[in-house]
Amino acid sequence: MRNMTMAIGQSLHLGQSLRIGIAPHAVGLLRVSRWRGAPVTVLAEHTIAASSAHPFDAIANALRTLLNEQGVERWPAAFVLADELARLWRVTPPQGATRLDDLQAAAGLRFQSLYGEPPAAWQIGADWSAVQPFFAAAVPRALLASLTLVAEEFRLAVVGVEPHFISAWNRWHGGLKAGAWYALVHDGLMTLAPVAADGVRALRVLPVPPGADQAWLTQTLQREALLLDLPPPALLQACGAVPAAWLRAAGVANSAGTAAAPVRCEALDHARKAVYAGFSPVAQLAWGGAR
C-alpha cells in the first residue's frame, strides 16, 4: 500500500512539521517535533458546516479558518484524510501484465465495477505489482485540488496526502508478527486487514458497538475468517483507539457453551496510548502514522 504525495514549496522548519487531519465534519492541526519540545501538540481544530452541494469547498473554508491564526507559512505539512473521503480496494493484476499501464487499467476497471462510476474523477495510487494482488487507494481530484489551493495560499510545503488507513499501515505494518491480522480503530469503526501468506486479503470496515469486549472481538474475527476462507487469527495487532477490554485476555464462550481461546490483541502503538486517549477523533486522525 502506498501514499499519494504532492510537493509544494520548500520548508524552513527542520525537525518540526504539521499534521492536518481532514474529515467530512472537522479539520484538525497538530505540530510534530522530533528534537525539541513536546513530540506532538494540538494547535487547533475546527468544525465544518455541512454542505452536501459543495463539501470540498466547505472543507477548504474550514481549513482556511484553521490556518489563518497559526502563522504556519513554509511549514512542512502532511494531510491525513478520513477513510470515508477515500476508497481502498484490492486489485488482481491481469495475466501476462508487464507494463504499468496494464496495472493502472486493471485498477481502474476494478474501481468502476466496485463503485459504479468511472475513475476519471479520482487520483489513484497503489503498490503496483504484476505478480501478486495489490491494494489501490483513490482520492477525489476535486478534494486534492482544494487542498492544493489552500496549501499554496498559506505557502505550506506539502509532503504527503494519505488516507488514514494507509498512513497508519505504512507506519506500523513492519511490526506485524507472523500469522497476525492488523486493524486500525478510529471513531467507532475498525478497519480490519486480514493478513495471509500472500499479503492482505481484504479491507473490512466494521462498526465497533459501545462496550465491545474481548468476546465481541473474537467472534467478529472468527466470522470474518469464515467469510474469507482463512483460519481465524490467534493475534490481532491494532493501533488507534483500541478498547482496553480487547487487550485483556479472557475466555470466550463458543457455541457449545464452553470456554474458547480468545483472540489476543496487542497495541502496536502502545507507547502513544497516554497521549492518544486525550485526543479528539480529528486530532487522532491528524496524527495518523506520524513517527
With a pLDDT cut of 70, the percent of the chain lying above it is 90
pLDDT single digits (tens) 231-245: 999 999 999 999 999
Q: What is the pTM of this model?
A: 0.88
pLDDT in tens, 106-153: 999 999 999 999 999 999 999 999 988 999 999 999 999 999 999 999
The string of DSSP codes covering the chain is ---B----S----TTEEEEEEE-SSEEEEEEEESSSS-SEEEEEEEEPPP-SSSHHHHHHHHHHHHHHTT--TT-EEEEEE-GGGSEEEEEPPPTT--SHHHHHHHHHHHHHHHHSS-GGGEEEEE---SSS-EEEEEEEHHHHHHHHHHHHHTT-EEEEEEEHHHHHHHHHGGGPPTT-EEEEEETTEEEEE-EETTEE---EEEE--TT--HHHHHHHHHHHHHHHT-PPPSEEEEEES--GGGGS---EE-TTSSEEPPPEEEETTGGGHHHHTTS-HHHHHHHTT--
Q: What does the angle CA 281 – CA 249 – CA 178 come to, to the nearest 5 degrees? A: 80
Q: Which residue has the higher pLDDT, 97 or 222?
A: 222
Residue 14 has pLDDT above 50, yes or no: yes
pLDDT of residue 123: 97
Q: What is the dihedral of CA 107, 112, 113, 114, to 10 degrees?
A: 90
- Identify the CATH number of the domain in which residue 226 sits: 3.30.420.370
Q: What's the average model confidence in pLDDT over 150-176?
A: 95
Residues 68 and 166 in one domain: yes
Q: What is the mean pLDDT of residues 160-176?
A: 94
| pLDDT higher than threshold 50 for residue 284 | yes
- Name the grid cell of 240: 488507534
Top-confidence residue, 278 or 18: 18
Is residue 168 located within the same domain as residue 148? yes
Mean pLDDT for the stretch of residues 246-273: 72
Please indicate, yes or no, whether residues 251 and 276 belong to a single structural domain of this protein.
no
pLDDT score of 248 = 78
User: Is residue 72 pLDDT above 80, yes or no?
Assistant: yes
Residue 254: pLDDT over 60: no
Domain shared by 110 and 185, yes or no:
no
Q: Is 225 in the same domain as 126?
A: no
Q: What is the pLDDT of residue 52?
A: 64
152 and 48 belong to one structural domain: yes
Lowest-pLDDT choice from 123-127, 261-265, 272-276 = 272-276
Question: Which residue range(s) make up the domain with 249?
Answer: 177-267
Confidence of residue 286 (pLDDT cuts 50, 70, 90): very high
Angle, vertex CA 25, rays to CA 24 and CA 30, nearest 5: 95
Distance of CA 56 to the CA centre of its chain: 19
Residues 198 and 285 in one domain: no
Looking at the structure of the chain, the number of domains it has is 2
Query: Which contacts (CB < 8 Å, 24+ apart) does range 201-207 have?
Result: 201/90, 201/228, 201/230, 202/90, 202/228, 203/88, 203/89, 203/90, 203/135, 203/165, 205/83
The pLDDT of residue 262: 87
**pLDDT grade for 207, boundaries at 50, 70 and 90:** very high
- The pLDDT value given to residue 13: 57
Based on the fold, state whether residues 77 and 57 are members of the same structural domain.
Answer: yes
**Cell digits of residue 79:** 494531510
Judge if 236 and 142 occupy the same domain: no
Same domain, 133 and 221: no
pLDDT at 85 over 70: yes
The answer to whether residues 204 and 124 belong to one domain is no
CATH value at residue 81: 3.30.420.380
Q: Give me the pLDDT at residue 180, please.
A: 97
pLDDT for 88 beyond 80: yes
**pLDDT per residue over 215-233, tens digit each?**
999 999 999 999 999 999 9
- 208 with 97, same domain: the answer is no
